[in-house]
Structure 1
């Protein structure tokens, strides 16, 4: 099989995560994909945790190379013009979703797992800090005093938007919805909705017209044993990560024999689909209840992780696309008034700005939970967005 270097194993690990998620990552699969043996992989890299650490280090190096090219682009543009900044942010997301799709998928998976097990994904926080520093740096010439807040806000927004851009980038309704929220973010949430953002309600509706009629990937009749087991799978996925789900663990959690779980869900993929299906049903219910409008609160972190899990599933399986689209349009549903008042005062925010702010809260919360802030990342909460909006209002 020949001598395989460490870089080859790391590339194979990234490809495996992009294709199958963290659940598909093992020393055996990576060695097989690299055309080598587990013994050779263990010698070159170490155990699975060491492999993940090497991969995160490589992700940081890749980000640094990519960021260098984007800094050059930024140097040729006036990002202090909101329209220019909006196009810049959109192009950033689009490149990640297409040219850098494999690395972006792996990065989203690593972030999701790090929010559950920061110690097992040590280094993810440093990668997130790299993202913050990039955005702060490119905004520094045009925004000076607020460049740190604005840069961290854009980094946080992109963190929440990324899995949806990967999964839904080819969907015109999604792209129009995203354009409206990026527009309001680039405007610092200041002023009132103009242009595309004025049609935000119609854009949201367009993203949900068909999702309610689409059957779940697995049938989960209300009150059935199958639905009960699927709920346990969803809990395990949210608490311990997708990779943790096995027939044995589900059976122990539900207090039933392994054979009972296997009767309803024969394969590991069946377990995954059932858990995602239960998460979709739960999200439809819980999103009606709202969430606290500040990243310093819990933000329903398990719920937010679930929406990312659905988006990542949709990136690999078209059957989940309608549900990912539905989850994306529901950002800020039933909390837009609270979010708007927390940032805009008595007059609040328009719906597009409220959704952009909520996604910024979510992205910041994910980073903090994953261990971000090791190098001074800014927590983006209401106070920071109030300052951003006021500063951008003065600049109008």
Structure 2
């Protein structure tokens, strides 16, 4: 009987997370926002862990309804046609980023936190499985035996792309860059670049045009004590998530007095901004995409997770969008040769396909980290993408042979 009464708390909790991040989720603020009391919230839902569980449960329910709507939308579409599939993927991301914005931010925030605290979000892996299932059901008619592999790749790609789509839904240069990688995703990275993806280098450049000239919204002079303390705060964010950032924790990380942290960053919000600023500087120099095989919480994936934190912060602070997009456009920047050879063999991959593949590996790796690094057969490896590419090449030939589906 209590479950229906709990529903008014769900939109309030989502709004708190969308506006303030996971650190904005407290029983008191949710109860107040719902015009109720903490006692009533505890009675109908339980503690904060139970509230998080209820949010995930509600999202899984909404995803089931979403699947029904998307199956109806695509019933007369040929999803074996890469152009059609690419359009559907883009529309899916845009719906999530705009129409379902608060729900999408909530899920993204949970993913970021679950990577460092899997035990705090025990039901999140089920929601991630639902994402694979969503695409598998959409693709099963037109892709048949190949539906599952492509579905997992699309779900993983969207997992890495979504925070940036939320942060910059109307940024033209980003949308063009995203369209090129979605195109290669829908093509299974088969063949070489064509159409929009042939101009990928120009799209990458345009998405970051003027970034170097944009002044950081944080005063962190290189080599200063202030920058050093901010770096400690960034370490805490990477290790413990945004919820772990406190003056005491940052002081412990740096082995410095609590008063020193408070001197440079008096409030918790100041500390949060300092951590984000340090992460932006760090990511500019160090982001490497992701290891092809390591999905057990390595530094590379932990840093990638931090880029999601910056993108989600940009969703609340437009001044950070340019920095979030700089991180997005650099996906695969320094691993192109490795990814290209591992997946494309001697033929290699074009730049757009390499970035697409890297984002798939990132999305899969992040999901594995929510399971404590124990992704097992759910983890996508380079060899899996090589097989997907081969299958897509064969499928493309079959599509060309049978021609377009008659209109009806």
Instruction: Using structure 2 for the length normalisation, give the TM-score.
Output: 0.93
Residue 113 (structure 2) pairs with residue 113 (structure 1): yes
Q: Distance in 2 between matches of 1:372 and 1:219?
A: 36
Conserved 8 A contact 2:290-2:301: no
Q: Distance in 1 between matches of 2:304 and 2:69?
A: 31
Matches within 5 A, 1:341-360: 341-360=341-360
Task: Quickly say closer, same or farther: Cα 1:181–1:59, change in 2 above 3 A.
Answer: same
Conserved 8 A contact 1:292-1:299: no
Conserved 8 A contact 2:116-2:239: yes
* SS of equivalent residue, structure 1 residue 292: coil
Alignment-derived partner of residue 16 in structure 1: 16
Q: Distance in 1 between matches of 2:68 and 2:370?
A: 25
Deviation at 1:374, TM superposition (A): 9.4
Conserved 8 A contact 1:152-1:377: no
Deviation per residue, 1:57-97 (Å, 9 max, x gap): 11111111112101111222100000000000000000011
Alignment-derived partner of residue 175 in structure 1: 175
Deviation at 1:376, TM superposition (A): 8.3
* SS of equivalent residue, structure 1 residue 98: helix
Matches within 5 A, 1:1-396: 5-287=5-287, 291-294=290-293, 296=295, 298=298, 300-371=300-371, 378-395=378-395, 396=397
* SS of equivalent residue, structure 2 residue 99: coil
Deviation per residue, 1:313-332 (Å, 9 max, x gap): 11110110010110010000
Cα RMSD (Å): 1.8
* SS of equivalent residue, structure 1 residue 316: coil
* SS of equivalent residue, structure 2 residue 8: helix
364-373 or 291-300: which moved more?
Answer: 291-300
Conserved 8 A contact 2:367-2:375: no
Unaligned 5+ residue runs, structure 2? 398-408
Deviation at 1:127, TM superposition (A): 0.2
Unaligned 5+ residue runs, structure 1? none
Q: Distance in 1 between matches of 2:289 and 2:60?
A: 35
Conserved 8 A contact 2:289-2:358: no
Task: Quickly say closer, same or farther: Cα 1:111–1:353, change in 2 above 3 A.
Answer: same
| Count of paired positions | 392
Deviation at 1:257, TM superposition (A): 2.7
Q: Distance in 2 between matches of 1:299 and 1:209?
A: 28
Task: Quickly say closer, same or farther: Cα 1:299–1:90, change in 2 above 3 A.
Answer: farther
* SS of equivalent residue, structure 1 residue 103: helix
Deviation at 1:371, TM superposition (A): 2.1
Q: Distance in 1 between matches of 2:222 and 2:116?
A: 29
